[in-house]
Amino acid sequence: MENRNCLHNFINYLDDEDVYDALEKYWIDMFFMLLHKENIDGNDWICPCYNTTFGNGKKMMDGNPIFSAKSIKKDKIIRIIQESPKNGNVFSYWINSSMGNNQSQKELVIVCTLNNYNLEKVNDIIISWIKGNLKDTNSK
């Protein structure tokens, strides 16, 4: 992953499929580097876990989600929805709970614009979530 100063390269991600692809790769690389840094087994995670293409194979390219991952062992899902910087500095997160196939799943949802400050918060929240230290409250 390139250093965080490259974030300006993703400004027009909603308009350019190549930039959108690079941004998806950026989030995936960031996630697995974060797991590695925290000595967390990355083999447990399926990424992406949500389909982000239409039936004809065209990308939705709306940033929802820009990143998703699911832990097989813990039945935890992470979904990051990226907002356009045109919407200002956006940051919130919450935990969704759902039942599927007679199992309970919990999903961490993070909505943010991509900047260095928010990226630090995203990293902290993801690690807290994975380690089970994140409170099950709405931060909005």
Question: Residue 1: is its pLDDT beyond 60?
Answer: no
Q: What is the average per-residue pLDDT within 55-82?
A: 94
Q: What is the average per-residue pLDDT within 5-33?
A: 92
Tell me the pTM: 0.88
Q: What is the average per-residue pLDDT within 93-108?
A: 77
- In DSSP notation, 76-99 reads EEEEEEEPPGGG-S-EEEEEEEEE
Question: Residue 105 has what pLDDT?
Answer: 73
Which band of pLDDT confidence, cut at 50, 70 and 90, is reported for residue 115?
very high
Q: Are strands 76-82 and 67-71 parallel, antiparallel or unpaired?
A: antiparallel
Q: Give which of 37, 134, 123, 17 is closest to 80, Cα–Cα.
A: 123
* AA identity, residue 129: W
**Over the chain, what is the mean pLDDT?**
89
